[in-house]
Structures are given as structure tokens and as C-alpha cells.
Amino acid sequence: DIQMTQSPSSLSASVGDRVTITCRASQIITTYLNWYQQNPGKAPKLLIYAASSLQSGVPSRFSGSGSGTDFTLTINSLQPEDFATYYCQQTYSPLYTFGQGTKLEI
């Protein structure tokens, strides 16, 4: 199975900050990489697909980049609603896998 490793596991930031979350795959996955946001008690929400494509309705302060094994999710000008947990996911292999999550806290 392809292992996905996110860093950091948790991150403290303030409203207005710019933050970056990293995701590394255990093998090359080209751009088969998605990012999701999850608030407590809620279902995950798709933010970015195919490494850098912004899902419809998602604010433009979210962006994704990367290819191969290393990927980043960047959030510019943090808003209060952005404090949540973020997961990367690979869909290169049919046995999909998620990263362990990054909790973004105030």
C-alpha cells in the first residue's frame, strides 16, 4: 500500500496567517493527490483535487501544489472557519489511502 505522511501533525496559527501543510507519498503518485477539510463532528469536505485544482465553491485562499511524491496545501490569510483538520489522499493506487491528518489550531 502507498503510505501518506503529513507534516506537521498539528499547527498553531492566527487569523490572517499563511500556513503550509505538507504531504509525502511513499512512492511516486504523479498528481493523484487530493486534500480534504474536516470540522469536528462533520463529514470531510473536498478542497483540492488532482494536486492543484480548486473544488467549486472553495475559497481561493486555498491552493495546492506538488507532483511525484511531495505535495503542499497552502492557506492564505487564515479565516476563523479554517481552523479544522486537513487530510491528504492518494488515488494513484486502487487501494486509496489518507494521510494521518493535520490539525490546525488557533
Residues that bind another protein (CB under 8 A): 1, 30-32, 34, 36, 38, 42-46, 49-51, 53, 55, 87, 89, 91, 94-101
**Which is nearer to another protein, 60 or 95 (by Cβ)?**
95
Give the nearest distance from C-beta 89 to another protein in angstroms. Answer: 8
Of residues 1 and 77, the one with the C-beta less far from another protein: 1
Contact 75, 62 (CB under 8 A): yes
| CB nearer another protein, residue 20 or residue 91 | 91
Least Cβ distance, residue 49 to another protein (angstroms): 4
